[in-house]
Amino acid sequence: MAADASVIWFRRDLRVRDHPALVAAAAHERCVPVFVFDPRLLTTGRFPSAIRTQFMLGCLAELDRALRERGGRLVVRFGRPEEEIPRLCAEVGASDLYFTADVAPWARGRDQRVVETLDGVRGHGLPGACVVDDPAAIRTRAGAPYAVFSPFARTWRTVPRRAPLDAPPEVRTPADVEAGELPSLEELGLPEPPSRGTFAPGEDAARAQATAFLRTGLAHYADRRDAPKGGSSRLSPYLRWGCLSALKLDVRVAEASGPGADEYRTELAWRDFYAAVLVHFPHVTRLEYIERFRELEWADPTEHLDAWTEGRTGYPLVDAGMRQLAHEGWMHNRVRMVVGSFLTKDLHLDWREGERIFMERLLDGDMAANNGGWQWIASTGTDPKPYFQRLFNPVTQQEKFDADGEYVRRWCPELARVPAEKLSRPWTMSVEEQESAGCRIGVDYPPPIVDHAQERRRAVERYRAVAGR
């Protein structure tokens, strides 16, 4: 092997454009791209997900194709990176290992162990996962980390951005490196998911979706972003897997300017904010950020958790969201807030139950954003507001954001013929109306499993008892 060799370790940065670690590695005479299938993440860890792994496999296949177009190929290994990466570096005579720095506590510990295990090889953790190089470096004037989003976002907008990078024209992978083959879900020990989702994997699909959103969706984003039917960019799975550069997307959005661009950049800032929170407050991965709310007593997850998970609560917007999640591996953000509020404030179930189920089913399941979102809606996390301001009424939310019922009727087809004025409260239909609509409450569609007004009062009492006000 030539002395000037490098290894580029891919994880959740599955693209070739604007990839600092890949550009640095490809500058070497020899460059070996590798992905390590670690069972601690895929099957035995906290949040295994068949549908997300299936999407990842598709993204890896597309990455391999892009690398081959540049003279390289993706090498795959199986096991612990602490063992496999140093072994590969020694095999190819690498002088340098490059990877995109992560923010999750477990990943940061793993990366440190890998670098410490290297023998005569320099390890480089480079930016590329977020819009700014290091969200955790954004601090208050006093030098403290931000725990409230709005001031973080104001400072975030002023942070200088690096220039996005082109894809390297060549990736010269030695021919004698054993590449291996991408495994199947079955070979990884995961079941076939009930749905394959509706997102095409890979960088080309990500770029196509981003272009379509920038051309037709961004200008109206400020007005339509809360509409569950058609208001979203649908880019979150691609950002989560790094098929799309968050920095490059932010640059393109900023160039467009206008209210839609401002709103969308705020969403990108939220993503960086939650990444910073995970670095500064790693305990949030297990515990409530607000210490006094660790005393909240959660209800026993009996049949109510199953009804919520399966979309059988009797509240159409909640059920539509959970059914969309099961089918697509994705859910609109406004609906995520509604179903999260229903779980934690109407059913009084632990937010960690929702976090787990979302991580099992979401293509964009991400420790930082998912945990941050669940603690936000449970009123236990950073960016705190009074708990009574985050008690979403699923009926009025549906009437406001799905006024024509298109979203609910799409995912709850048994409600297709329910009169518009009864769609948010189908249980109020008369017997005659139920017969006419072909939707008998208790037979074709469930009655509400709880009374929202009653449970709202109970939630206020529970939180007030802990909060002391």
Q: Which residues carry out catalysis?
A: 267, 270, 298, 333, 351, 374
- Give the DSSP H/E element, type plus range, for residue 207: helix 203-216
Structure tokens at 196: 């394959």
Q: Give me the DSSP letters along 334-374.
A: HHHHHHHHIIIIIS---HHHHHHHHHHH-TT--HHHHHHHH
Tell me the backbone φ, ψ of residue 177, rounded to 5 degrees.
Answer: -85, 125
CA 435, 439, 440 angle in degrees (round to 5)? 75
Going across the sheet that includes 96-100, the strands are: 75-78, 30-37, 5-10, 96-100, 122-126
Q: How far is CA 39 from the centre of its chain?
A: 20
Q: Is 394 helix (H, G, I), strand (E, B) or coil?
A: helix
Number of other residues whose CB lies within 10 A of the CB of residue 303: 10
The residues, any chain, with a CB within 8 Å of residue 189's CB and separated by 6 or more, are: 39, 42, 43
* Pairing between β-strand 96-100 and β-strand 122-126 as defined by DSSP bridges: parallel
Tell me the backbone φ, ψ of residue 226, rounded to 5 degrees.
Answer: -90, -5
Tell me the backbone φ, ψ of residue 250, rounded to 5 degrees.
Answer: -60, -40
Structure tokens at 445: 């569609």
Number of other residues whose CB lies within 10 A of the CB of residue 417: 12
Q: Give me the DSSP letters along 254-284.
A: HHH-SHHHHHHHHHHHHHHHHHHHHHH-GGG
